[in-house]
A and B are shown apart, each in its own frame.
Chain A
């Protein structure tokens, strides 16, 4: 059974870059034909799709964040990464990585943007 675990700094200063990793176990990112997505959820609010990445590196980003988002895959580490630049308080949220086709989610990691 696949397991996804997000990790990264819990606190990021405004204007800096948020960087998160998602380590996948129980499945090989490179051997499957799944998209892997990032989704976030501000406290007490709904879900926002950030974007997705295919194992080949093909990406699709939410236009609302497109200029600030970069996703990548490290198949040697079986890991996904998310970078979000120029963060503001509005980027404070729990960030989830998701194996899209099977609806498998990580537990999420809280990121707070504050000086």
Chain B
């Protein structure tokens, strides 16, 4: 199985801060990575597909980038509505696997 090591596991930041979340894949996943945001009691919402493609309706303050097997989700200016847990997901190889999650607090 491909291991997705996500860091940090939690972070606390202020409104307006730029934050980054990283996922390290244990092998090449050909940019086949999604980023999800999950709020308490809700289903995850896909923010970014294929490492860097912003989903329709998602704020442009979210962005995704990649460097070989390291993937980054950036929130350029943290807003109160951004609190939640963020997950990366690789879908290059089966089984599909997820990072352990990053809980974002303000």
B84 at the interface (CB under 8 A from A): no
Contacts of A26 in B (CB 8 A): none
Which of A15-23, A81-89, A101-109 lies at the binding interface? A101-109
What 5 pairs between A and B have smallest CB-CB spacing? A103-B46, A105-B43, A49-B96, A62-B95, A47-B98
In the assembled complex, the CB of B101 is this many whole angstroms from the nearest CB of chain A, namely 5
CA distance A6 to B89 in the complex (A): 22
A-B contact pairs, 23 of them (CB 8 A): A37-B96, A46-B87, A46-B98, A46-B99, A47-B98, A47-B101, A48-B98, A49-B95, A49-B97, A51-B95, A52-B96, A60-B94, A62-B95, A63-B1, A96-B43, A100-B91, A103-B34, A103-B36, A103-B45, A103-B55, A107-B42, A107-B43, A108-B43
Identify the closest chain A residue to B87 (Cβ): A47
Interface size of A in residues (CB-CB distance below 8 Å): 18
Interface residues of A (CB under 8 A from B): 37, 46-49, 51-52, 60, 62-64, 96, 100, 103, 105-108
Report how far A64 CA is from B94 CA in the complex, Å.
Answer: 12
Q: Name the prevailing secondary structure of the B interface residues.
A: loop
Alpha-carbon distance between A105 and B97 when the two chains are bound, in angstroms: 16
Tell which of B34, B94, B95, B100 touches A46, judged by Cβ atoms closer than 8 Å.
B100
Convert B47-58 into 0s and 1s, putting 1 for each residue whose CB lies closer than 8 angstroms to a CB of A.
Answer: 001000001000
* A49, A64, A107 pick with most chain B CB within 10 angstroms: A49
Looking at the assembled complex, report how far the CB atom of B1 sits from the nearest CB atom of chain A, in whole angstroms: 8
**A62 CA / B1 CA spacing, docked (Å):** 10
